Amino acid sequence: MTRKRTNIMVCGGTGCLASESEKVMRNLNLILKARGYDEEVEVIQTGCFGFCEQGPIVKIEPDDVLYVRVSPKDAKDIVDEHIIKGRKIERLLYTEPKKKQKVGKHEEMPFYKKQLRIALRNCGFINPEDIYEYIAVGGYEALGKTLTSMSPDEVIDIVKKSGLRGRGGGGFPTGVKWELARKQESDVKFIICNADEGDPGAFMDRSILEGDPHSILEAMAIGGYAIGADKGIIYIRAEYPLAISRLTTALKQARELGLLGKNILGTSFSFDIDLKYGAGAFVCGEETALINSCEGKRGEPNYKPPYPVEEGYWGHPTCVNNVETFANIPPIINKGADWFASIGTEKSKGTKVFALAGKVNNVGLVEVPMGITLREIIYDIGGGIQGGRKFKAVQTGGPSGGVIPEKYLDTPIDYDSLLEIGSMMGSGGMIVMDETNNMVEIAKFYLEFTQDEACGKCAPGRIGTRRMYELLNKITGGKGTMADLDALKQLAYMVKDSALCGLCQTAPNPIVSTMKHFWDEYVSFIKDVDHPRGEGRYVAKNKDVARGKSK
Amino acid sequence: MKIKSLEELRKIRQESLEKIKLREHGETVENRIEILVGMATCGISSGARETLNAFVDEIAKEKLDNVKVIPVGCIGYCHAEPTVQVNMPGKKPVFYGNVKKNRVHEILEKHIKGGEPVESLILPVDFERA
Amino acid sequence: MSGDPKKHENKKMIKIKINDEELRVPEGITILEASHEAGVRIPTLCHLDLHDLQLYNKTASCRVCMVELDDPMRNKLVPACVTEVYDGMKVRTDTLRAITARRMAVELLLSNHPNECFTCPKNLECELQALAEELNVREIRWEGERMNYPKDTSSDAIVKDANKCIYCRRCETGCNVVQTCGILSGIGRGFHAFVGPFFNIPMVESSCTYCGQCVQVCPTAALTEVFHTDKVWEALNDPDKHVIVQTAPAIRVALGELFGMEPGTIVTGKLVTALKRMGFDGVFDTDFGADLTIMEEAAELIYRIENNKTLPILTNCCPAWVKFIEHQFPELLHVPSTCKSPHIMFGTIAKTYYAEKKGIDPDNIVVVSVMPCLAKKAEAKRPELTKDGHNNVDIVITTRELAAMIKEAGIKFDALPDSEYDKPLGETTGASVIFGTAGGVIEAAMRTAYEWMTGEKLENVEFEQLRGMDGIKKATVKIGEKELKIAVASGLGNARKILEEIREGKSEYHAIEIMACPGGCIAGPGQPYHHGNAEIVKKRQQAIYEEDRRKKVRKSHENKEILELYEKYLGKPFGEKAHELLHTHFEARERI
């Protein structure tokens, strides 16, 4: 996107569209053109700001001024006063109820709710062991609706139109996956919920299973109906005993009420779910490894194709979706594809749950609309860096992701933008690092994890990750040479290129991204040793940083 | 009992609404008060079970028949576990963080009995639910 | 190497490009298969496609065959061995990225591999070593930890050296998919992963049948045979010992390969000369034992048919198969024939009849068997296969070990003249030669059973329906008024199917031959390594049938020395003395 001098962002969420935001846009464009400002000012329709009751919302960037309840006739003032003369329009600013004080700047608004909870909607709100509480908040309504008034193709159509993509990390469009599974001709199909959450620091799936287990059961039944499966499996790691116990309770209750089992809600659709326990191997989150593990085989991936939707559990077409993905399904069915698609960015719809951790003040689970910036998550929701220290980088995507330095903090994040800046969405781990963290040590931390969790099947994954870890140890131990850095880099790219499955293809990402953004920290380990007097440009500014005095 | 149709499901929903009305809107038919305790793994490991037990014990001791303690999942505020939400008729729900068991008495005395939230423990809720 | 050609019949032809070569190839083949037609060589390591021998390893785990897709949408490296071609696909095998990735995959494997090629049993036979040369590996840049597991030398047949395991999983595919034994599987994870029996228990404690399919396909020396050549040299140099040797039928059609001869070359005469020059006091043919086996087995079959005893009868020449049924189907131990295997029969006769005839104390006779097999090494140690405190057979060496000894002895094998086997116990028939291939034992038995049951002469001795490479072959043989239903299973997975039918009472057969190795003994794990080329095995099979056709006598019961043996020593086939010497029993074993 080429940035013009000023962007006028007009909310295009359903709520704002309902309150004439389109007319606001049209008028803004007309007036800008009339005043000759259309070259330097661009009007952009955005996803939902999550602030619908004050809509239509208009935000002026880079001024960071937010106008609420903008009517089409306000367009003239916005252009004439704000754009041309640089004056804020008082009457359109948001009034904070308590203080009766106008606040224009986005970050000054304490009530501006940056979080929108779809997947986590019921977590902390209902008693997860009481099915009637789930029903009271509209639970199983979506299942009832699909079974009584929708064909499987219509269900798939809604999910496709909603733009929902897999929340486990890959970001594959869920509707497309379901469609592929549906098209397989087979009497026996399976739908599997991947609850083998394993990224260090990520626990949104556990939180959903513990706080809202019925939403997953409901979604799996909907998925089963859509693809033509009458059997579901939840593959959950045995280290989640509470989630297992709540799921077990939920399954029992749902069966008692006939929401699982034969002829659900009096229809011809029958569906039930089994629990299978994993032993907590990270690689079992990879779908072919997961299926091997479900079958009682060694948990390691197979070469794809054939994909599980073609040949999965015991050779039958099998659709594997992640917990958070499933949690989005009932709201999509209930509120419609358009509602969901109105949230987020062009190619990434809806929200994403992140496990915010590291050096931020408010660590925790946050669920935000796609397209939010990292700065908003870290500073507005996370409350900034602990101890007022300086931000250095944030790692998204767990051990498969990369570090993102400060210059990208304002990137609106979604599946694609994160890939562009050298990281990935992953399952939603988000670890914030401050100036005291040494980035080579960070890379080593992740490599230690992946080389240990690699299944060992392919040579690059088995030996390559080990050799990278050993090289990092050598480097951080002060024994590395510049040739080691070259070897490490070359090996990192080779493993990315050659490993068999996603786990090890992405394992070098922490190295690749820290080398890209923090090369001097690597070099400082080398030159400080080889050349005790130092060579100006290679000596890190802060020796403590270079020596890795981080936790 | 099996639910035989979508209509039956909706009927059950209507009957169950009382369970949660209070939480959303502060509405209730009776003068019921709810205390929701975040009982996910993370909450429990931070002491939520002790907090929940302390509420139950003290409520029994004080014979507060209209107060119900409900275990719920987590709301993601790891930095402030254990978390507790108090729902009272006619009032906006109040959300507390860092409620170790030694703060239970204070909440019961000041908030539940006295109607005055314990300001020092209140957390701002910065999300909307779909 | 290029998979089953029938698989691609009637497939749509599509256009692809490999490097600069435009090709029209059938849809659905892999890049690797297509590369053969483009005159491009893509190296492979874990990949193994032996369709006639039932093994197809497609783990795609070594990443040595990575090639680059020249496609803006999918510009990436893919493994050629499993990636199927699509219309318009452009593949480059010669980019820096692909070449580097392939070489580095081998470098990584070598960085975790013992540097002991000089003394390695697979020196110059090792596929990893060959790849290092082919891919121009000149240094190993990654120093670091290497696997350090103790060698498993617990069994009498197979040595497992996990430190040389490159985790290609061929052995596992052979053990689990082909043989359905489930002994070998991946253990540990990450850097420490290797293949072994569960919990890495010693091989001897597992239910391993020692079929040796794993040794046959292992690209390195992670799985090899236990070497017994030194014991043979010791015996040959002991003046008190009368050392005799017998060679299995499959040796003569394979040994030449190890001396640069074409696969399928029959080297019986040179083999005998070499053994004589090495100093054996008698050079004999296991075929004699095979003819003896037929006498006993055909008699046993007729006995069972005439007396309404257990049918089908199962042949049991193959010791891996015997161990398989003992572990996996202990409830069916009454079904197989009780005959000893041919080389054990030979050993028994050598230490009784031959000893008496020659006036040698059996204690001083050392019987050496040259076998295409590893299971025979363990079989020879079985306690019930002894007489008066000495083993029926003392030492078993493989075809490969024999070749190594011939080289050690400085014998120029290809320049040797032909010689004849010694007598007595030297006469053999065409029937016994075909023991070397799957289907041969039952065919030989039919040649004899037919004549015995009908009293008529069998004109056409070649039973075509029992030949070929299929894993399970079925035939109905008309013998007089009777129709005998016959089956041949090679590969223990196929044996399992047959046994399950028997257990469920659904088997309609009278006689079934079972061999553990797909294809029979010609494809045994003691034979020269075929390195993935199943055509070699087919040529050996053709040579076996050729050898049969060359024989004047092609029926076991027409072997004059055999007839003399019965007349002078054993009495009747399946009679009392024969029972005592030539039959054995089985033992129910645990399944681990």
User: What pLDDT, on the 0 to 100 scale, is given for residue A106?
Assistant: 40
Is the same domain home to A81 and A218? Answer: no
Contact B2 A256 (CB under 8 A): yes
Which of B4, B16, B78 is the closest to A135 by Cβ?
Answer: B16
Contact C193 A455 (CB under 8 A): yes
User: What pLDDT, on the 0 to 100 scale, is given for residue B26?
Assistant: 62
What CATH code is carried by the domain that includes residue A371? 3.10.20.600
User: What pLDDT, on the 0 to 100 scale, is given for residue A46?
Assistant: 65
| Closest chain A residue by Cα to residue B75 | A124
Residues of B in contact with A122 (CB under 8 A): 73, 129
Quote the minimal CA–CA distance from A269 to chain B in Å. Answer: 12
What pairing do the DSSP bridges indicate for beta strands C55-57 and C13-18?
Answer: unpaired
Is the same domain home to A229 and A306? Answer: yes
User: What pLDDT, on the 0 to 100 scale, is given for residue B104?
Assistant: 94
Place of tokens 């095998």: C93
Mean pLDDT of chain B: 87
Would you tell me how many other CB atoms lie within 10 Å of the CB of residue C411?
A: 18
Question: Is C317 designated active site?
Answer: yes
Catalytic residue from among C206, C337, C369, C556: C337
Residues of B in contact with A350 (CB under 8 A): none
Quote the minimal CA–CA distance from B110 to chain A in Å. Answer: 23
Is the same domain home to A232 and A157? Answer: yes
Is the same domain home to A192 and A223? Answer: yes
Quote the minimal CA–CA distance from C507 to chain A in Å. Answer: 28
Quote the minimal CA–CA distance from A142 to chain B in Å. Answer: 10
Using CA atoms, how far apart are residues B26 and A201, in angstroms rounded to an integer?
35
Residues of C in contact with A470 (CB under 8 A): 142-145
Is the same domain home to A226 and A327? Answer: yes
Q: How many independent structural domains does chain A possess? A: 4
What pairing do the DSSP bridges indicate for beta strands A272-278 and A231-237?
Answer: parallel
Four-residue CA torsion sign, A538, A539, A541, A546: positive
Is C332 in contact with C496 (CB distance < 8 Å)? no
Is A162 in contact with A258 (CB distance < 8 Å)? no
- Dihedrals φ, ψ of A173, to 5°? -60, 125
In a domain, A35, yes or no: yes
Helix, strand, coil in percent for chain A, rounding step 5: 45, 15, 35
Pick the CATH number of C5-108 from 3.30.450.20, 3.30.930.10, 3.30.470.20, 3.10.20.740: 3.10.20.740
The structural domains of chain C, with segments of one domain joined by +, span 5-108, 147-226, 229-582
Place of tokens 């199909």: A189
Q: Of A108, A140, A156, which marks where a domain is finished?
A: A108
Q: Of A280, A307, A337, which marks where a domain is finished?
A: A337
Contact A467 C108 (CB under 8 A): yes
- Dihedrals φ, ψ of C284, to 5°? -125, 175
User: What pLDDT, on the 0 to 100 scale, is given for residue C18?
Assistant: 95
Question: Is C27 designated active site?
Answer: no
Asked whether residue B21 carries a pLDDT value surpassing 80, the answer given is no
Greatest mean pLDDT among A109-113, A152-156, B89-93, C51-55 lies in A152-156
Is the same domain home to A158 and A296? Answer: yes
User: What pLDDT, on the 0 to 100 scale, is given for residue A537?
Assistant: 33
Mean pLDDT of chain C: 93
A-C Cβ pairs (cutoff 8 Å, strict) = 106
Query: For C383-397, how does the pLDDT look when each residue is reduced to its tens digit (9 = 90+)?
Result: 999 998 899 999 999
Q: Fold match between C5-108 and C147-226?
A: no
CATH number of C147-226: 3.30.70.20
Is the same domain home to A285 and A195? Answer: yes
For C229-582, which CATH class?
A: alpha beta
Joined together, the tokens standing for residue A126 give: 């209902």
Neighbors of chain B by Cβ distance (3+ pairs < 8 Å): A
Residues of B in contact with A254 (CB under 8 A): none
- Pick among C56, C74, C108, C110 to test the A interface (most A CBs inside 10 A): C108
Is the same domain home to A401 and A456? Answer: no
Is C186 in contact with C216 (CB distance < 8 Å)? no
In a domain, A124, yes or no: no
Question: What residues of B are in the A interface, CB distance below 8 Å?
Answer: 1-6, 8-10, 12-13, 15-20, 23, 36, 38-42, 44, 70-80, 83, 85, 124, 126-130
Is the same domain home to A209 and A323? Answer: yes
If one compares B115 and A551, the residue with the highest pLDDT of the two is B115
Question: Is C257 designated active site?
Answer: no
CA atoms within 13 A on the CB side of A97: 3
Q: In one letter, which amino acid is C143?
A: E
Query: For C424-478, how does the pLDDT look when each residue is reduced to its tens digit (9 = 90+)?
Result: 888 889 999 999 999 999 999 999 988 998 888 888 888 888 888 888 999 998 8
- Dihedrals φ, ψ of C501, to 5°? -60, -45
What CATH code is carried by the domain that includes residue A504? 1.20.1440.230
pTM over 0.95: no
In a domain, A77, yes or no: yes
Contact A457 C82 (CB under 8 A): no
In a domain, A186, yes or no: yes
Is A466 in contact with A451 (CB distance < 8 Å)? yes
Domains of chain B, start order: 28-121 (3.40.30.10)
User: What pLDDT, on the 0 to 100 scale, is given for residue B15?
Assistant: 86
Q: What one-character DSSP code corresponds to residue A233?
A: E
Closest CA to C403 of C220, C252, C571, C210: C252
Query: For A341-390, how does the pLDDT look when each residue is reduced to its tens digit (9 = 90+)?
Result: 999 999 999 999 999 999 998 888 999 999 999 999 999 888 899 988 99
Is C237 in contact with C281 (CB distance < 8 Å)? no
Residues of B in contact with A50 (CB under 8 A): 128
Regions of chain A where pLDDT drops below 50: 1-3, 50, 97-101, 103-112, 530-551
Using CA atoms, how far apart are residues A550 and A545, in angstroms rounded to an integer?
8
User: What pLDDT, on the 0 to 100 scale, is given for residue A59?
Assistant: 81
In a domain, A41, yes or no: yes
Question: Is C384 designated active site?
Answer: yes
Q: Of A434, A454, A473, which marks where a domain is finished?
A: A434
Using CA atoms, how far apart are residues C533 and C519, in angstroms rounded to an integer?
13
User: What pLDDT, on the 0 to 100 scale, is given for residue A51?
Assistant: 57
Domain of A303?
A: 131-337
Share of chain C above pLDDT 70, in %: 98
Which of B2, B39, B130 is the closest to A257 by Cβ?
Answer: B2
Is the same domain home to A413 and A330? Answer: no
Q: In one letter, which amino acid is A278?
A: G
Using CA atoms, how far apart are residues B69 and C274, in angstroms rounded to an integer?
92
| Closest chain B residue by Cα to residue A49 | B128
Neighbors of chain C by Cβ distance (3+ pairs < 8 Å): A
What CATH code is carried by the domain that includes residue A88? 3.40.30.10
Ramachandran quadrant class, A127 (left: phi over 0; alpha: psi -120 to 50; beta: rest): beta
User: What pLDDT, on the 0 to 100 scale, is given for residue A281?
Assistant: 87
